[in-house]
Structure 1
């Protein structure tokens, strides 16, 4: 039994749906870019009328908003929110479905180790997320080229787009960990949505109170587009935190999955 290929087939439709949805978000927002930049002075005065607290909460930076890279960075926040939901749904569901579907005892009766099962499932999940990100990143570069008269840096756009995958890996690992901690998850969505939005709200509150340390507490603030545009690179400290969390969560998932008792289907 090839678990890796089985999971790719099982989640191919949902992956296509997510790729289309994220591309739709991208197209919808990027299509508005010429409207915002037709008269920059007027649009800037309009945005300046919003209190700074509101602009911070909406992640609108007037210093970069009117460039194609800055505008893409603004819409990237919403794409990452959607992508985080996809990733945690995938991480939780792909591990928990054998228990909820009562097929775990059948799967583990095959000549395959538990660690191999986890490896195959997580590898399939990563491949599915990479496919989603390739579609999203390609669309970002294409739309930026078509809709902007200014020269945009494809390298900067791709660097910003890569943060979608980095945040998704965080929530994929978190979802897998939750799946092995909670014995039986009746609804993946009921677990995913509160968790993702809790992290998102933490980031929003941090912006409102202007607390920069919040970027170490939530993956939604690990890789801020404005910093990437200014520095031309990812933040090393938050990248290390992201990698450490993913490694820890995946390691614990392996350990707990291998040791847990599997309930027989009834």
Structure 2
């Protein structure tokens, strides 16, 4: 429990910064909605000039863009990118920071098992992500109610917002696995940015081809906002795919961490 609270305190500044950043992004974007709604017809003519492949790549859906929920989906794609970077940073630093700061052997001399160490660190990172999502969701709902020009489904708004949380869980698990497997990570940020942007651009590429199977390549495409708005739910096959990635990554992390050699300073 002491490890958990220590890690949570260590993530406090990062959690505050990421939460404030996401809140500012959504507040800025949603403040533009009334202007877009008033000039919907003119703006739609402009966007129709862009190729459909480009519109799909950036998550732009002409069918519902000028509704409050459709407009919200546009900044959501960038917000989930930021959220993924936060989660990847947390996951990658869970074990690697002990090696980088040369405190790994000191930590493991304490009367706690490796399982408890990794579990406490993992739970602290999870709580940090939960706090970020709660703050983000509260501010998002407040902003949407402030700028809405027509009625909307609160349930769908929550479902759309939670896509960031699910994507964060996937990248948190992947980050933990990388942190455990790679012997020494000199820069957590460079690893996080490279991994997240690689999957993000793979997701954009899969959208341009229109092939359903290629969506499984990138977690960013596991949650189709148009589908969520239309069906008020998620696609089961992609939820299962995400859950499998999380389970396999975390299981592999525990397996490797319990058996790997920790070098003394």
Distance 2:52 2:243 in 1: 33
What is the CA distance between 1:190 and its match in structure 2?
1.5
The equivalent of 1:194 in structure 2 is: 194
What is the CA distance between 1:53 and its match in structure 2?
2.1
Residues 156-197 of structure 1, C-alpha deviations (whole Å, 9 max, x = no match): 111111110100000000000001110000000121111111
Q: The residue matched to 1:264 in structure 2 has which SS?
A: coil
Distance 2:146 2:195 in 1: 37
Distance 1:152 1:124 in 2: 35
**TM-score, normalised by the number of residues in structure 1:** 0.98
2:251 is the alignment partner of 1:251: yes
The equivalent of 1:48 in structure 2 is: 48
Q: The residue matched to 2:11 in structure 1 has which SS?
A: helix
Distance 2:156 2:140 in 1: 11
Q: The residue matched to 2:263 in structure 1 has which SS?
A: coil
Q: The residue matched to 1:172 in structure 2 has which SS?
A: helix
Distance 1:233 1:220 in 2: 16
Contact persistence 1:145–1:152 (CA under 8 A):
no
The equivalent of 1:71 in structure 2 is: 71
What is the CA distance between 1:10 and its match in structure 2?
0.4
Contact persistence 2:68–2:149 (CA under 8 A):
no
- Bigger shift: 206-215 or 183-192? 206-215
Contact persistence 1:22–1:79 (CA under 8 A):
yes
**4+ long deviations beyond 3 Å:** none
Distance 1:253 1:54 in 2: 37
The equivalent of 2:86 in structure 1 is: 86
Distance 1:215 1:101 in 2: 38
Distance 2:214 2:186 in 1: 32
Contact persistence 1:137–1:161 (CA under 8 A):
yes
The equivalent of 1:61 in structure 2 is: 61
Contact persistence 1:214–1:221 (CA under 8 A):
no
Distance 1:212 1:39 in 2: 33
**TM-score, normalised by the number of residues in structure 2:** 0.98
Residues 25-83 of structure 1, C-alpha deviations (whole Å, 9 max, x = no match): 10111111111110221111111111222212221100111111111112111000000
Distance 2:139 2:146 in 1: 10
